[in-house]
Amino acid sequence: MRCVLLHYHILKNGGMTIEAILDRSFGDRFAKIETGERDGHVSKTSLLSLLERNPDVRAVSSHQIRYPVPAIPGFLFFDLCFLRDPIDRIRSMYDYFRQKPSPGDPVSDFANELRMGDFVARLIQEMPWYINDAQVNLLANGIVNDCPAKQDLERATAKMMRCSFLGVLDRFPESLIAGQHFLRPVFPELDCAEPAVNVSGDLGSTLDDRLGKVRDACSTRVYSELLSLSVMDLELLDRARAEVERRYNLIPDHQIQILRSRLQTKGTLARENRRSILV
């Protein structure tokens, strides 16, 4: 049985840092796959083709692999997925595209043409799937250009609870420590001691500071709509935080100290302790 770690790289959820971890841990046994289309989907067939062409690959990352975790004879897949506060995620998208424009991408164009409050309003009006419980939608349905239904929260929660390496961005060190601890028996080369990368915007701020920035940028009506469209994502996030904490608390104290020491040495915790932002 061939074991493969699949990183479900949700946009602006700290994925560049995770990819750096996978690259350093697995080297040439790590691969990335995308379709080249903005809204493309990496099919099970495409994933299998990649793995068959590269028999040594042990970890794969993509923005465009979709849940559910594939079931392919001869393979056992372990999923890695990080979640983020949905309001902070929208702010991060705005800041990111203003720093690194992607001409022709409507979200990037909106970010570079509009102030933040107007950016949020335009997404709500024209592309609500980017805001409307997008993380619940990705976990529950594996799609991005549609809006989820109320029952999707429980489906997303079930997938989150089964996630092999679950992460929450505002519980970043705990997520890395728990993920490494429980996957090392299968992937002994996995080493999560890696400085944060692709870091920009509001360095030194807290999550509350960043949420306040979005609230202040929006009109009362727009911010109320934003919160209304994020209710299930916020609930999923709270459940994910609790699950990360539960897994973290299962690790013996001496092993936590060893792992935290390595993270501190590499700089991951140093950045977190300075309350920098991962984008």
Which CATH number characterizes residue 40's domain? Answer: 3.40.50.300
Lay out the sheet containing 75-83: strands in order across. Answer: 30-32, 59-62, 2-8, 75-83, 165-168
140 lies in a domain?
Answer: yes
Please count the structural domains in the chain.
Answer: 1
Q: How far apart are CA 231 and CA 241, in angstroms?
A: 16
Whole-prediction pTM? 0.90
Give the pLDDT score at 275. 39
208 lies in a domain?
Answer: yes
174 lies in a domain?
Answer: yes
Structure tokens at 263: 């993270």
Structural domain span for residue 244? 2-273
70 lies in a domain?
Answer: yes
Structure tokens at 151: 């029952």
279 lies in a domain?
Answer: no
pLDDT tens for the chain, 279 residues: list them. Answer: 999 999 999 999 999 999 999 999 999 999 999 998 877 889 999 999 999 999 999 999 999 999 999 999 999 999 999 999 999 999 999 999 999 999 999 999 999 999 999 999 999 999 999 999 999 999 999 877 778 999 999 999 999 999 999 999 999 999 999 999 999 999 999 999 866 655 545 555 899 999 999 999 999 999 999 999 999 999 999 999 999 999 999 999 878 887 777 776 665 554 443 333 344
278 lies in a domain?
Answer: no
166 lies in a domain?
Answer: yes
